[in-house]
């Protein structure tokens, strides 16, 4: 060794492993328009499907006349529920244990519901024929309000189960009731509230919105009648689960189904579920023997495939007069639309809403959630969050603010005195979770110092005086949030979807020349898995990340996994990747010892090699070892260097963060100007800081959208009012503020590399932070709670109702 | 989101386009930049048999200023309006308003003629043209005629233009004095929640002339003669501005939509006009 010999640090850096700000390998193709999405697929003889959709939110389907549509040149078939019924495919199971119409079976339950599926030789002919399918409807009374849906005399929405007293999640007490889910100790909580010094009570509504990925949902189904194999390309966030579900409901043996998720242009939960378009495309391909493509347009995406949120959360929070929280009570009315198509682990019909005690040490709590049917689109997916965690975070972070008002306390201080302390982890929450790790006080103090919190409050007070003196019409708001996420579903003992345990997987093959391919059960939709998982592996096995190919999404080649949503990829598949890497390393150690002619125990791992203990100049690199694995007969060791790991996480991971937003509000126009946004995230070990920063920016921008304008709104007749991007708010760069990102690092104690999820944290924490800032601006005038989205007129309306226009 | 089939025509001159319209009758529509018409076609809310594309008609393009009169060919894009220094010198309010229209991609395609001729109450140019007292030149089978912007608009998407006529040229006098185009919108690309176009001239300390038009606050653009009159002869003190706002509020007739209810729109219209007057006066 001499001065030119790379040091261990230099060798580690050259691997571009964990901690490296490696550029995303995916971007070369994405930024050059070379991605390969479902709609890019072109196949010989491919047909196109298009839906006839209901203009009514609740109506009986009296008749469907296909004749004129079938006469359009190029039209091959028009499918209705009658055609699917003999195959028993006119209904399909949902991920939530309910069932959903594939095509309208006698009635429709939401505007935009699929009524008939036109199949034609090109999409123009299909669109022409859709216009010509004559459907006769008989309008029924519409219910869009979940509270009215539970009235004794409310119309029966789901006639198919009207008399069933038992649902997938226990007893039903009304014909429009889906389930009641209770957690915690009701009696103890109510007793605490009854005796508390202070109780703050508020209804917190988290409005209905939609993930609205850049690419809409779609698929191509191709049934090969010669070999009996069905190939299904689609925008699937969980391709293996789709394969299993497709097999179970179609009767096609699972080995004869190949599901492929190609490049996906964003998912955010919208692409977890199974949609009528997939079923109809498969049936149409089986019937015609030709590939059938179905891709929804933007309006169809917003009106029919999975929405998010729509939780009415009635809360009570009790505290001592010093501000120590003594109990939390919540009753949620969950509007699920016409079918319960939530994508949650089976045992969690309201997802992880029971993380609603947040970052606080709350001794006793109670949560009840009632799921209700209405005449709205089905869904209830985790839009850039773990299951219902953003609802939970919004609820507790609003309740904290309301309690601060009740106590006449600073909301930052109220949080500080109630945080779970670092020495309390692992912490068992009152609603049943074991928080794995956290250091909230450190993060909070760092955040408050970074923004100069005390000075901001002084400036705000000065601004308020100017406002009262008539010198300005702008108010300043300071939004605070400390959130705790729960991601990485999850331990198979309590997390499954349709009976499939929520483990995940990684399979690694090391090539003889020392490069590698790894395949995972997850599927990137923009998260950059090909970049980050290669980094995990680089650090584990000492092969440069650039020499590792990552492949996902093809069920014929990838190991079984539950897919990508709920920030589970890094906590679960990332762990599987590390564990598979360690299996590779274990075998490599034996090979290295053989090559170095020492005992296995006499070599030690050193970044990218095994070296003889005490003689670092005697070593074999991973590259040497890989070659030997394929070229030498080593006694007692099989040739080759491969490993697979199926990882069942022992616990969830609990990322957290401290966010602070400062904004100015023009009380006369309702316009808001985000002056600054500081986001401190703690996601444990940081695999790629640049990707984390990108994830945080993206999640915060979606949070901005939701908090400040984005909604799926219906009128009283169940007509969707926000069905285009003119009215459904997606921020452009113009509306997007500058973000300041920061971090602390509290590794997960149970994850192999200490990592937690991060992609969804900014949405979970961002929404309450923006909303709290708006509320905070009006706090001196008596505002307690005003529902999102805080668009111009609603903000104006706050000012108006507080008399600020008089 | 796929239109029904149609025949596509691309004439090379106005006479050819007018002849096509006369021959094809009400089944034909002209298309300029297409940013209003194409979405309507894709939604199948506009069904037409023939589309007559005007983009090859060079005589409908260009900006000129002669003897204090600005002439803009109808097929001039909003991007060209923004980048014309001649226009910026003659009527700077046009650049200020054009910057508020949609986004750069739309402005590369969208034309002033399409914007004013479509009769969409959300479009920014019709109100601006009323403020400028512009003249629209229409060419039909019987020749050309001029219509004032202030009498062109009848109702939403209903104008004085006959089916076989094409709006070819927009002209108005170069402005002097102060100007402002003030617009509140929910995001880039959105139509106005409320917008105000204001032109003012000053005579000493007093306002000598005033022209005020409002956008997306009625089913047509609203040129509020009374609002302007309330300012003339005053020093634009608070009472005068309040009177102008009050007069404007009489003339507009907003409807509730996703931007908000009527009371909100009326309030914002007043705030926006107040701000536009203040900025224009600063520049006068």
- Work out the end-to-end distance of chain A between its first and last CA atoms, rounded to an integer number of angstroms: 82
Q: Do residue B97 and residue B30 come from a single domain?
A: no
Per residue in A675-725, pLDDT tens? Answer: 999 999 999 999 999 999 999 999 999 999 999 999 999 999 999 999 999
Q: Do residue B260 and residue B188 come from a single domain?
A: yes
**pLDDT value of residue A611:** 98
A-facing residues of B in 55-94 (CB < 8 A) are none
Position A85 in a domain: yes
Q: Do residue A672 and residue A608 come from a single domain?
A: no
Position A729 in a domain: yes
Helix axes B262-283 and B238-251, enclosed angle (nearest 10): 130
Position B149 in a domain: yes
Position B140 in a domain: yes
Please pick, among A114, A215, A711, A760, the residue that the annotation labels catalytic. Answer: A760
Where a domain ends, among B126, B152, B172?
B172
Residues from chain A contacting residue B272 (CB–CB below 8 Å): 669
**Rounded to an integer, what distance in angstroms lies between the CA atom of residue A273 and that of residue A354?**
23
CA torsion A108-A114-A119-A123 (nearest 10°) is 130
**Rounded to an integer, what distance in angstroms lies between the CA atom of residue A696 and that of residue A680?**
10
Per residue in A471-509, pLDDT tens? Answer: 999 999 999 999 999 999 889 998 998 888 999 999 999
Suggest the residue from A51, A796, A804, A805 to mutate for an interface test with chain B (most B CBs closer than 10 A): A796
**Min Cα–Cα distance to chain B from A507, Å:** 42
Instruction: Look up A385 and say whether it is catalytic.
Output: yes
Whether cis (ω within 30° of 0) applies to the bond prior to A789 is yes
**pLDDT value of residue A12:** 96
Per residue in A410-450, pLDDT tens? Answer: 999 999 999 999 999 999 999 999 999 999 999 999 999 99
| Contacts for A458 with CB less than 8 Å, ≥ 6 apart | none
Where a domain ends, among A647, A677, A695?
A647
Q: Do residue B247 and residue B198 come from a single domain?
A: yes
Position B1 in a domain: no
Suggest the residue from B35, B44, B183, B186 to mutate for an interface test with chain A (most A CBs closer than 10 A): B186
Q: Do residue B149 and residue B204 come from a single domain?
A: no
Average pLDDT over residues A126-150: 98
**pLDDT value of residue A201:** 98
Task: For residue A343, name the pLDDT band (cuts at 50, 70, 90).
Answer: confident
Instruction: Look up A243 and say whether it is catalytic.
Output: no
Position A180 in a domain: no
Q: Do residue B205 and residue B188 come from a single domain?
A: yes
Average pLDDT over residues A577-590: 98
| Contacts for A696 with CB less than 8 Å, ≥ 6 apart | A679, A681, A739, A741, A758, A761, A762
Q: Do residue A31 and residue A46 come from a single domain?
A: no
Q: Which domain holds residue A22?
A: 8-35+504-647
Q: Do residue A579 and residue A519 come from a single domain?
A: yes
Q: Do residue B37 and residue B72 come from a single domain?
A: no
Question: A429-439 burial, b if ≥16 CB within 10 A, otherwise e?
Answer: bbbebebbbbb
Q: Is the pLDDT of residue A3 over 80?
A: no
Q: Do residue A750 and residue A616 come from a single domain?
A: no
CATH at B187:
3.30.390.50
Residues from chain B contacting residue A721 (CB–CB below 8 Å): 258
Q: Do residue B195 and residue B141 come from a single domain?
A: no
Q: Do residue B72 and residue B44 come from a single domain?
A: no
Q: Do residue A345 and residue A430 come from a single domain?
A: yes
Q: Do residue A611 and residue A542 come from a single domain?
A: yes
User: What's the predicted TM-score (pTM) here?
Assistant: 0.97
Please pick, among A158, A384, A463, A609, the residue that the annotation labels catalytic. Answer: A384
- Taking the Cβ of residue B267 and every Cβ of chain A, the question of whether any pair is shorter than 8 Å is answered with yes
A374-378, A384-388, A748-752, range with the lowest pLDDT: A384-388
Where a domain ends, among B172, B191, B213?
B172
Position A355 in a domain: yes
Task: For residue A53, name the pLDDT band (cuts at 50, 70, 90).
Answer: very high
Where a domain ends, among A647, A672, A691?
A647
Position B2 in a domain: no
Position A203 in a domain: no
Q: Do residue B76 and residue B160 come from a single domain?
A: yes
Position B184 in a domain: yes
Q: Do residue A510 and residue A531 come from a single domain?
A: yes
Q: Which domain holds residue B197?
A: 179-283
DSSP letter for each residue of B117-167: HS--TT-SHHHHHHHTT-EEEEEETTEEEEEEGGGTEEETTEES--TT-EE
Tally of domains within chain B: 3
Q: Do residue A788 and residue A665 come from a single domain?
A: yes
Distances (CA, A) of A528 to A265, A552, B57: 12, 11, 48
Of B271, B123, B127, B267, residue with least CA distance to B199:
B127
Choose among A297, A668, A800: nearest Cβ to B1: A297
Q: Do residue B81 and residue B158 come from a single domain?
A: yes
Q: Do residue B105 and residue B27 come from a single domain?
A: no
**pLDDT value of residue A5:** 87
Q: Do residue A593 and residue A514 come from a single domain?
A: yes
**pLDDT value of residue A499:** 86
Question: What number of H helices and E strands is found in chain B?
Answer: 11, 14
Task: For residue A730, name the pLDDT band (cuts at 50, 70, 90).
Answer: very high
**ipTM above 0.85?**
yes
Per residue in A387-412, pLDDT tens? Answer: 999 999 999 999 999 999 999 999 99
Tally of domains within chain A: 3
Position A286 in a domain: yes
CATH at A46:
3.90.1170.50
Q: Do residue A328 and residue A477 come from a single domain?
A: yes
A234: β partners? A219
- Taking the Cβ of residue B260 and every Cβ of chain A, the question of whether any pair is shorter than 8 Å is answered with yes
**pLDDT value of residue B47:** 83
pLDDT lower than 50: segments of chain B: none
- What's the burial of A87, exposed, middle or buried (CB within 10 Å: 0-12/13-18/19+)? middle
Q: Do residue A127 and residue A276 come from a single domain?
A: yes
**pLDDT value of residue A490:** 85
Q: What is the three-class DSSP state of A89? A: coil
Average pLDDT, chain A: 96
CATH at A315:
3.30.365.10
Q: What are φ and ψ of residue A183, in 5° steps? A: -135, 150
Interchain contact, A124 vs B2, CB within 8 Å: yes
Where a domain ends, among A631, A647, A663?
A647
* A545: enclosing H helix or E strand: none
**Rounded to an integer, what distance in angstroms lies between the CA atom of residue A615 and that of residue A455?**
58
Position A190 in a domain: no
A-facing residues of B in 178-197 (CB < 8 A) are 184, 186-191, 193
Q: Is the pLDDT of residue A1 over 60?
A: no
**pLDDT value of residue A497:** 86
Residue that has been written with the tokens 């005579």 in this structure: B203
Position A201 in a domain: no
**Rounded to an integer, what distance in angstroms lies between the CA atom of residue A570 and that of residue A533?**
8
B44 to chain A: closest CA residue: A131
Residues from chain A contacting residue B258 (CB–CB below 8 Å): 713, 721-722, 727
Q: What is the three-class DSSP state of A802? A: coil
CATH at B24:
3.30.43.10
Q: Is the pLDDT of residue A2 over 80?
A: no
| Contacts for A44 with CB less than 8 Å, ≥ 6 apart | none
**pLDDT value of residue A600:** 96
Q: Do residue A417 and residue A546 come from a single domain?
A: no
Per residue in A603-647, pLDDT tens? Answer: 999 999 999 999 999 999 999 999 999 999 999 999 999 999 999
Q: Do residue B47 and residue B68 come from a single domain?
A: no
Q: Is the pLDDT of residue A121 over 70?
A: yes
């Amino acid at each position: 060794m001499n001065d030119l010999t790379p040091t261990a640090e230099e060798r580690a850096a050259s691997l571009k492993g964990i901690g490296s700000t490696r550029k995303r390998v995916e971007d070369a193709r994405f930024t050059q328009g070379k991605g390969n999405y479902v709609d890019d697929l072109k196949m010989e003889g491919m047909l196109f499907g298009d839906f006839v959709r209901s203009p009514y939110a609740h109506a009986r389907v009296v008749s469907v006349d296909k004749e004129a549509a079938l006469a359009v040149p190029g039209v091959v078939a028009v499918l209705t529920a009658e055609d699917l019924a003999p195959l028993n495919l006119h209904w399909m199971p949902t991920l939530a244990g309910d069932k959903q119409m594939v095509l309208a079976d006698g009635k429709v339950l939401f505007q935009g519901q699929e009524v008939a599926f036109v199949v034609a030789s090109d999409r123009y002919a299909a669109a022409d024929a859709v216009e010509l399918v004559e459907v006769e409807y008989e309008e029924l009374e519409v219910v869009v309000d979940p509270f009215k849906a539970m009235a004794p005399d409310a119309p029966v929405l789901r006639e198919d189960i009207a008399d069933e007293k038992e649902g997938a999640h226990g007893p039903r007490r009304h014909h429009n009731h889906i389930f009641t889910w209770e957690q915690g100790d009701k009696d103890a909580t109510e007793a605490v509230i009854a005796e508390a010094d202070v109780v703050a009570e508020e209804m917190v509504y988290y409005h209905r919105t939609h993930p609205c990925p850049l690419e809409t949902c779609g698929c191509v189904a191709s049934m090969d009648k010669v070999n009996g194999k069905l190939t299904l390309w689609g925008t699937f966030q969980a391709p293996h689960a789709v394969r299993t579900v497709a097999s179970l409901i179609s009767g096609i043996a699972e080995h004869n189904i190949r599901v492929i998720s190609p490049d996906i242009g964003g998912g955010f939960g919208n692409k977890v579920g199974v949609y009528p378009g997939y079923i109809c495309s498969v049936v149409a391909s089986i019937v015609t023997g030709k590939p059938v493509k179905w891709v929804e347009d933007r309006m169809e995406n917003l009106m029919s495939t999975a929405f998010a949120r729509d939780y009415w959360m009635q809360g009570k929070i009790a505290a001592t007069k010093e501000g120590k929280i003594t109990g939390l009570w919540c009753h949620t009315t969950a509007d699920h639309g016409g079918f319960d198509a939530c994508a949650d682990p089976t045992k969690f019909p309201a997802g992880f809403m029971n993380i609603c005690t947040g970052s606080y040490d709350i001794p006793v709590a109670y949560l009840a959630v009632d799921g209700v049917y209405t005449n709205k689109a089905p869904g209830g997916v985790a839009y850039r969050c773990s299951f219902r965690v953003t609802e939970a975070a919004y609820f507790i972070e609003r309740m904290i603010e309301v309690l601060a008002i009740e106590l006449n306390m600073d909301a930052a201080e109220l949080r500080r005195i109630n945080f779970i302390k670092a020495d309390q982890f692992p912490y068992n929450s009152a609603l049943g979770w074991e928080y794995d790790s956290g250091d909230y006080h450190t993060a909070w103090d760092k955040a408050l110092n970074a923004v100069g919190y005390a000075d901001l409050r002084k400036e705000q007070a000065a601004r308020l005086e100017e406002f009262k003196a008539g010198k300005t019409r702008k108010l300043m708001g300071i939004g605070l949030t400390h959130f705790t996420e729960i991601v990485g579903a999850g331990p198979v003992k309590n997390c499954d979807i349709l009976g499939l345990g929520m483990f995940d997987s990684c399979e690694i093959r090391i090539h003889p020349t020392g490069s590698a391919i790894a395949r995972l059960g997850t599927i990137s939709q923009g998260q950059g898995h090909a970049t980050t998982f290669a980094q995990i592996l680089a650090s584990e096995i000492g092969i440069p990340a650039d020499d590792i190919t990552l492949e996902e999404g093809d069920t014929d080649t990838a190991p079984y996994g539950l897919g990508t949503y709920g920030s589970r990829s890094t906590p679960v598949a990332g762990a599987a990747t590390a564990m598979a890497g360690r299996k590779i390393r274990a075998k490599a150690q034996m090979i290295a010892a053989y090559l170095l002619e020492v005992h296995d125990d006499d070599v030690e791992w050193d970044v990218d090699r095994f070296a003889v203990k005490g003689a670092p100049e005697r070593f074999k690199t991973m590259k040497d070892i890989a070659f030997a694995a394929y070229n030498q007969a080593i006694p007692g060791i099989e040739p080759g260097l491969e490993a697979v790991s199926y990882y069942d996480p022992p616990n969830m991971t609990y990322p957290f963060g401290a966010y602070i937003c400062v904004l100015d509000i023009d009380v006369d126009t309702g316009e808001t100007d985000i002056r600054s946004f500081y986001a401190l995230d703690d996601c444990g070990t940081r695999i790629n800081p640049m990707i984390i920063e990108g994830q945080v920016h993206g999640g915060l921008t979606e949070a901005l959208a939701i908090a400040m304008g984005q909604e799926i709104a219906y009128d009283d007749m169940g007509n969707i009012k926000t069905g285009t991007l003119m009215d459904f708010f997606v921020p452009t760069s113009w509306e997007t503020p500058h973000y300041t990102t920061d971090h602390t690092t509290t590794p997960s104690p149970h994850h192999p590399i200490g990592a937690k999820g991060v992609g969804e944290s900014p949405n979970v924490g961002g929404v309450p932070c923006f909303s709290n800032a708006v509320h905070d601006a009006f706090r001196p005038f008596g505002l307690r709670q005003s529902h999102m989205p805080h668009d111009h007129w609603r903000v104006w309306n706050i000012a108006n109702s507080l008399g600020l226009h008089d | 989101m796929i239109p029904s089939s149609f025949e596509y025509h691309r004439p090379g001159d106005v006479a050819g386009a007018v002849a096509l319209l006369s021959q094809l009758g009400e089944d034909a529509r002209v298309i300029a930049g297409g940013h209003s018409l194409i979405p309507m076609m894709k939604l199948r809310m506009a069904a037409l048999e023939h589309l007559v594309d005007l983009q090859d008609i060079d005589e409908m393009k260009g900006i000129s200023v002669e003897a204090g009169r600005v002439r803009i060919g109808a097929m001039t894009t909003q991007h060209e309006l923004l980048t014309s220094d001649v226009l910026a010198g003659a009527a700077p309010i046009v650049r200020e308003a054009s910057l508020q229209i949609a986004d750069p991609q739309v402005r590369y395609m969208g034309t002033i003629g399409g914007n004013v001729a479509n009769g969409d109450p959300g479009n920014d140019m019709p109100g601006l043209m009323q403020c400028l007292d512009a003249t629209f030149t229409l060419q039909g089978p019987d020749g050309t005629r001029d219509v004032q912007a202030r009498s062109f608009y009848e109702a939403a998407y209903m104008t004085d233009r006959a089916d076989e006529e094409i709006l070819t040229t927009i002209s108005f006098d170069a402005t002097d004095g102060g100007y402002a185009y003030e617009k509140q919108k929910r995001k880039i690309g959105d139509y106005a929640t409320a917008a105000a176009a204001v032109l003012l001239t000053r005579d000493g300390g007093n306002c000598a002339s005033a022209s005020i038009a409002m956008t997306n606050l009625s089913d047509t653009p609203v040129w509020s003669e009374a609002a302007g009159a309330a300012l003339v002869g005053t020093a634009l003190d608070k009472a005068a501005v309040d009177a102008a706002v009050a007069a404007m509020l009489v003339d507009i007739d907003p409807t509730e939509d996703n931007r908000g209810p009527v009371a909100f729109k009326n309030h914002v219209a007043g705030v926006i006009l107040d701000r536009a007057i203040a900025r224009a006066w600063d520049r006068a």
